[in-house]
Amino acid sequence: MTYPAFEELVRTRRSVRSFSSEHIPDELISKILEAAAYAPSSWGGHPMEYIVIRDRDTMKKLAACKQMGAGPLGYGDAAIVPVIDRRNLELWVEDAAVASAYILLAAEYYGVGACWIHMKDRVGHTGSAEEDIRALLGIPEYYGILNAVSLGMPKDKGKKRSLTPVIHYGKF
Ligand SMILES: Cc1cc2nc3c(=O)[nH]c(=O)nc-3n(C[C@H](O)[C@H](O)[C@H](O)COP(=O)(O)O)c2cc1C
């Protein structure tokens, strides 16, 4: 397999919610998370940890932890839940977000479809989505949960777009 160059990679990445029946090799998931380990982090502590879920029953339960917009977690081929020990980490949300962006880009690089599924401050079925996930996966209270990422080999992918940055030179 040939991998895309950076410019092509960022321009073609899309959130993928439609997956083929092809299995993602465990090795590719490891490579995606190895890339995420290099994400910048507050205080340079590289604090992210990841729960990888490939068991269908648990994935469906994870999808059910949020009332809306979490479907791909249940029907994808794998799910990743980034977690972070937020004790003494004021910027844990930012750390988790940057690492998750690395996951999305690395997935694209390795030909894996991925989608950010937001969890923080979202409604679950018994309480907040975070509380439901914490109970499902046994995550300690002092770990923050910003989101999950659904993964699968892409079936349909959104079109390549032409996007331009809004830039203010020198002053707003
Ligand atoms: C902070 C954030 C929260 C998101 N939450 C969800 C979500 O809960 N469910 C979902 O299907 N997609 C979610 N997405 C994916 C966005 O819908 C997607 O990135 C956006 O529509 C742009 O499409 P693109 O990723 O293909 O460029 C989220 C993305 C971000 C960055």
What pLDDT, in 10s, does the model give residues 97-127?
A: 999 999 999 999 999 999 999 999 999 988 8
Q: Kindly state if the Cβ of 117 falls inside 6 Å of ligand 1.
A: yes
Chain-centroid distance, C-alpha 42: 19
Distance 171 CA to ligand 1 centre (A): 30
Q: Which CATH architecture does the domain made up of 25-156 adopt?
A: 3-Layer(aba) Sandwich (3.40)
pLDDT digit string, tens, across residues 52-81: 999 999 999 999 999 999 999 999 999 999
The pLDDT value recorded for residue 1 is 72
For residue 145, pLDDT over 80 is answered with yes
Q: Which of 116, 117, 156 to mutate to test the pocket of ligand 1 (most atoms within 8 A of CB)?
A: 116
Cα(158) to ligand 1 centroid in Å equals: 12
CA 19 to centroid of ligand 1, rounded, Å? 16
Q: How confident is the model at residue 4 (pLDDT cuts 50, 70, 90)?
A: confident
Instruction: Please give the span between the terminal C-alpha atoms of the chain, in angstroms, as a whole number.
Output: 44
In one letter, which amino acid is 126? T
Q: Is the CB of 148 under 6 A from ligand 1?
A: no
pLDDT score for 126 = 82
Share of the chain above pLDDT 70, in %: 100
pLDDT at 109: 97
What does the pLDDT read at residue 42? 97
Question: Relative to the CA of 161, which ligand 1 atom is closest?
Answer: 27
Determine whether the shortest distance from the Cβ of 31 to ligand 1 is under 6 A: no
